[in-house]
């Protein structure tokens, strides 16, 4: 198929590569320089999101936040200027569910279809093509784009209508943040008590406390490898969406609010560009004790 990809960051670049490596004709647009791997694989850069929309049958977007998606879709030189009947926008960013519903209606009014398809799995999953993809939209449109999504992910689910994919991603980010906070507290506690945190983690991996967060991010906390797979500032944004939605729905999310404050403490110390596993540093500061020496 003729596909377009807008947003070639840490996640977007490997995702786009999977598409072109599977034989799809790829047109790309990004505000920064197009990675050499994309052009070497046959990706063609154009000078606007509108040009991507004119060239492609399915247009993927993968940008940081709700205003970025709105600008890419409806701003000057945006997708809306080049889209037409029969085309599909697949937004893989993590943004507001309510805004997503509004964006979908505006794209539908132009004769095109819209799928929200945020992902989980981080840079590792993006590179491996094993992302979890949570979709919202029309079932027939989903089936049309599913073979493309299968180039990038393994666990691909149509949750419901437009916005439901984004709602699922927010729920995912709540669970991930709370798990990171729990693992952080456990390792800070164990280390300050005098136990070897690496051995504690090893023991816990064989019990009911075992989790992917303990496996991957627990190791990061011990080895002090906080180079970003998923940055604190982006997880802050996602928790902000959760708390905003909670206010609108009249739902209390006390543990989410606490995790958001721990990330805010990290960001206030200039750690927002680090991996979200660096949340442990907020607890280490309060305990006056690092999990392990870097």
H or E element that contains 135:
strand 131-136
Residue 174 burial (10 A CB sphere; 0-12, 13-18, 19+)? buried
User: 241-258 b/e with 16+ CB inside 10 Å = b?
Assistant: bbbebbeeeeeebeebee
Say whether 200 sits in a helix, a strand or coil.
helix
Give the residues of the chain that fall short of pLDDT 50. none
Q: What pLDDT does 293 receive? A: 87
Tell me what pLDDT residue 89 has: 98
Calculate the CA 134 to chain-centre distance.
11
Q: pTM for the whole thing?
A: 0.92
Q: Give CA–CA dist 115/156, Å, rounded.
A: 13
Helix (H) / strand (E) element for 185: namely helix 164-192
**Which residues does the annotation mark as catalytic?**
169
Whether residue 148 contacts residue 135, with contact meaning beta carbons closer than 8 Å, is answered with no
> Helix, strand or coil for residue 39?
helix
């Amino acid at each position: 198929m003729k596909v377009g990809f807008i947003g070639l960051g840490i996640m977007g670049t490997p995702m786009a590569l999977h598409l072109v490596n599977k034989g799809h004709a790829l047109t790309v647009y990004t505000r920064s320089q197009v990675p050499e791997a994309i052009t070497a694989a046959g990706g063609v850069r154009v000078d606007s999101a509108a040009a991507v929309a004119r060239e492609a049958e399915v247009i993927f977007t993968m940008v940081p936040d709700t205003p970025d998606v709105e600008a890419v879709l409806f701003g000057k030189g945006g997708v809306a200027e080049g889209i037409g009947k029969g085309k599909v926008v697949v937004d893989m960013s993590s943004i507001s569910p309510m805004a997503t519903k509004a964006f979908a209606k505006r794209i539908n009014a132009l004769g095109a279809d819209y799928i929200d398809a945020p992902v989980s799995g981080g840079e590792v999953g993006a590179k491996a093509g094993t992302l979890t993809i949570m979709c919202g939209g029309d079932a027939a449109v989903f089936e049309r784009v599913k073979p493309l999504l299968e180039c990038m992910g393994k666990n691909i689910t149509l949750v419901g209508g437009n916005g439901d994919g984004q709602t699922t991603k927010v729920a995912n980010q709540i669970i991930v943040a709370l798990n990171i906070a729990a693992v952080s507290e456990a390792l800070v506690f164990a280390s300050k008590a005098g136990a070897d945190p690496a051995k504690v983690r090893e023991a816990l991996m064989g019990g009911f406390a075992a989790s992917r967060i303990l496996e991957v991010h627990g190791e990061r906390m011990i080895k002090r490898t906080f180079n970003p797979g998923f940055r604190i500032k982006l997880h802050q944004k996602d928790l902000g969406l959760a708390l905003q939605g909670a206010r609108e729905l009249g739902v209390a999310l006390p543990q989410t609010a606490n995790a958001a404050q721990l990330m805010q403490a990290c960001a206030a110390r200039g750690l927002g560009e680090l991996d979200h596993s660096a949340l442990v540093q907020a607890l280490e500061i309060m305990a006056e004790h690092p999990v392990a020496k870097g």
